[in-house]
Amino acid sequence: MKEQPAAANDKTIKGPPTGLAVLALVGPGFVWCAEFIGSGEVILATRTGAILGTAVIWAIVLGIFLKYWIGMSGARYTVCTGEGMIDMFDRIPGPRHWVVWIVLVAQFASATISIGSLASAAGIFVSRLIPLPPYLAAWLVTIFCLSVVWSGLFNILKIVMSLFVLIIVLGVMYVTVVVFPGLSVFLQGLLGQVPAVPEWATTTYGLTDNPWREILPLLGWAAGGFASQVWYTYWVLGAGYGAAAGRSYGQPADLDMLRNLTRSAAEKIKGWCRVVYTDATIAMVIGIVVTVSFLIAGAGILRPNQLAPEGPEVATTLSTIFSSQWGALGGFLFMLSGTAALIGTQIGQLAGWPRLLADSFRICIPRFQKAFSWKTQFRMFLIFFLCTNMVIAYSLGLRPVFLVQMGAILDGLLLTPLQALWIAIGLFIVMPKLLSEEAREILRPHWVFAAGLLIAFLVFGYFCVFQIPFVLG
């Protein structure tokens, strides 16, 4: 009886692409980076560049690089097992569903605030391109993004998000080339400096003299937060890499298939792991380049003019300054790239958070799964976020920086060190127990994944334990 699942492995798991053909199948990474290039880049990176200059480039590079290891490691698990990160968390040793319960409670609050803050910010930018009240523009953005993700089809998401990435890169690179500070200044920004908050920022805008109040949200939103790394496993599932081929959302791994995994099937999966490495690396490079570009734009344009906008004037100030420097084209391109980044992230969040919450409800509250199909659950959460977005955009939409910073700390930092630790346990302890003996040897992760996850755990753990209380206090 065990030979039947084993024989099926070779047929159900496709051979991986090789050489340049790998690039043709890169897709989850574009969805991933288009999702995490958003409010943290357009608003936080630009504003932090205005206040602290290019000296904090290191924070962007560090945050994205460490989360790259978290996201890629989780995606590797999905390629090898065919299940997403939430199901992996449910297999962590300990009390029943304890990790997923933590995720469910924390992420429900984070999702509501983060999605609402993004809708508010996007509404302000769109209202500067189209003469509409910001709250109404935010509602329209939410409805548009909801319509894109309503079908749940990955290919539609991949095409739309890839287009937004292209617009973002073209727009912000044009601006950055003009205000690039020079190679020596750029390299100095990688040295880990923590510059002082300038006097004009404290007197004009009432900012505190604690630079970490600006750096921490930037770290938290660089490469997205906790949820973004979970969603990357969903995009890999949607693309059908490795053991994810033929799988659908909202399903745990096929344990019979994994226990009977043949050597040849495991070799194919190992080849798909290399596709994920390429996919994730491209996303990391794009994320670093675009985020650093927004920071350089803020340092080159806003800082000399002693501007650090935080209310609805964020978009207006950026557009006015860029237009005054390079005419209408410069201002328009920056506004267009910023708007594309915010809308792209909103699409990613509305595609990802309902999946995360539906998985968490399925595991923690089995009756919810029995009462509603997965697609119904997904759409129920979409409607919920549509309603909360409308309320937040109407009542709190004029405070985009505050909302985005709150979302960055809640989703970007608080659970991230635990996420790195849980993924390490899943990859090195849980996964080997699910695989056949011959597959276990072939798919054993390299020690470099353990090193990357350990460093991410220690670095983000330090910020959570020592810096967040200090900043909030």
Consecutive 10-residue runs of the chain (473 residues): their mean pLDDT? 49 72 64 66 82 95 94 96 96 95 88 82 82 88 86 65 67 78 93 93 88 86 84 89 86 92 93 92 89 88 83 62 65 72 79 89 88 86 90 69 65 82 97 95 96 95 78 62
Half-sphere exposure of 327 (CA within 13 A, CB side): 2
| Spatial separation of the C-alpha atoms in residues 250 and 239, rounded to whole Å | 15
Q: What is the token pair recorded at 324?
A: 């005054």
The domain locations on the chain are: 3-472
| CATH top-level class of 3-472 | mainly alpha
**Using N-to-C axis directions, what is the helix angle for 98-129 and 134-149, rounded to 10°?**
130
Q: Which residues contact 437 (CB under 8 A, 6 or more apart)?
A: none
- Coil, strand or helix: which one is 248? coil
Half-sphere exposure of 321 (CA within 13 A, CB side): 24
Task: Provide, for the chain, the percentages of residues in helix, strand and coil under a 3-state DSSP scheme, each rounded to the nearest 5.
Answer: 80, 0, 20
| Spatial separation of the C-alpha atoms in residues 223 and 50, rounded to whole Å | 20
Predicted pLDDT at 25: 59
**pTM attached to this predicted model:** 0.86
| Spatial separation of the C-alpha atoms in residues 342 and 348, rounded to whole Å | 10
| Spatial separation of the C-alpha atoms in residues 343 and 145, rounded to whole Å | 7
| Spatial separation of the C-alpha atoms in residues 314 and 300, rounded to whole Å | 16
